[in-house]
Structure 1
């Protein structure tokens, strides 16, 4: 049963990703001008998913969700690891993309997000050596686990947005350098330039970015609070300053500082985007990174 869900999830994500890239390449070939203009132009587009595409993406999300449930919670137990965390992150990321695409023109993002989700959904097949949690049935732990993974998913998609915004901003600066400079860049990175042209405007990406970070920060705060309560219930100590806790608190402080600076002074631009990525790296190290070291490098699966 599990292998069927793995295959179906990968086929749905992969099929949609290939369809999007094929449509983009076809449009790019038809719209490619004979000369390189001095002003930005759309060298290709990604058609809207349409009704059938949205239904297929919803089917992929449902299949992926069922897969996560049956593999993480087998027979009233719980199995988890860094591969499951990444798979859950991208499942949530695609879910956010699917919902937000009804309100924002985000079609170009599917070219990046869906291939990553396809790969992430298969990772537990290769890295499945995790320990079953004896306390997984505790209601407080289940609440903590759910909130934490939703928060991680929000920050994962926010980090992808930040990377895309840095690429788009770099391309715009290159375009302002003149036609010859643009021509030289296009010759070496034509596919990348054409794909960046399909993305929403920077202001749209920025608005969505800070919506994601704001929601993620609230959930990360609740994650830390529920973790403290659960640790008090389980071990009799409210806070254990291990590597996971230290990096989680550091990430919380960094995202909080970013939102404060945004609110007070309207902080934006490359420095803000790099701060987003640094904050996400700290969060990644708090859980996924530490689990990767224990499970893969040290062959010692722990929670």
Structure 2
């Protein structure tokens, strides 16, 4: 049953991604319906009595589920329709991944209460920084469009180009980006701290120096440096975008990338 819901949600996401911008109501309703189906199927797939499913596909699907909600809410406050063509197709792929790569069920019996909190906070941190990365890509495209000659700009029409032209000013976009990064950094800090508590209770050590820990801490340092540079050095523009995309790429490797290698390439089952 979940598989059919995943497929239906993916079809709704794809359909809404490529509808003309003028169809605002169908896009909004279709996205919301896809999001509800996605969330219902994901919840039914992830949770069972006294157990929870973990894996790179589930994590990625949950991350994009929250990212779709963030896009939907953000687009109602600002004209960010061009983000739709980036977020929804990625979400359509992510939504069906758990059916292909189911991961494994982990028993919660004997586990610390911090375990589920750690997972929830991690997903929120991933989701916030994922939408920040999409936002950064939009800013790169917007800046490139602004530097295009008027004649070439007129020839490079299309609904996506027009959607880029309707974006808020770059300064406004930059303020939104740093709000997302600041919130994501806070959640990532809580992820690291809850991970310390979880690791201490389960493994008897505060840090397990594996790929996940190293990449997570490196991403945390990059986002922290970006916020500090913004605060004291006035970092902005290309510097901010480069830090954002690099930090997100490393964070993606921290769990999703390492779990993909373990589950799909090496066929190992780990927590």
TM-score, normalisation: structure 1: 0.82
Q: Pairwise mapping of residues 220-239 of structure 1 onto structure 2 (< 5 A)?
A: 220-239=188-207
1:139 CA drift (Å): 2.0
1:74 — aligned with what? 48
Question: 1:109 touches 1:199 (CA, 8 Å); kept in 2?
Answer: no
1:293 is the counterpart of 2:266: no
Task: After superposing the two structures, state which structure 1 stretch, 71-80 or 271-280, moved more.
Answer: 71-80
1:266 CA drift (Å): 2.1
Closer, same or farther: CA 67–115 of 1 in aligned 2, 3 Å: same
1:16 is the counterpart of 2:26: no
Question: 1:48 touches 1:107 (CA, 8 Å); kept in 2?
Answer: no
Task: After superposing the two structures, state which structure 1 stretch, 132-141 or 227-236, moved more.
Answer: 132-141
Q: Which runs of 5+ in 2 are unaligned?
A: none
Deviations 1:53-97 (A, max 9, x none): 433322222211111111111343222211112111111111111
1:249 — aligned with what? 217
Deviations 1:191-230 (A, max 9, x none): 7645533544323322221111111000100011011001
1:284 is the counterpart of 2:252: yes
Which structure has the larger Rg over C-alpha atoms?
1
1:133 is the counterpart of 2:106: yes
Partner SS for 1:133: strand
Supply the distance in 1 between the matched residues of 2:49 and 2:7 (Cα, whole angstroms).
Answer: 22
Matched length: 270
Q: Pairwise mapping of residues 59-208 of structure 1 onto structure 2 (< 5 A)?
A: 59-128=33-102, 130-135=103-108, 138-175=112-149, 179=151, 182=152, 186=155, 193-194=161-162, 196-208=164-176
How well do the aligned residues superpose, as a CA RMSD in angstroms?
A: 2.2
1:27 — aligned with what? none
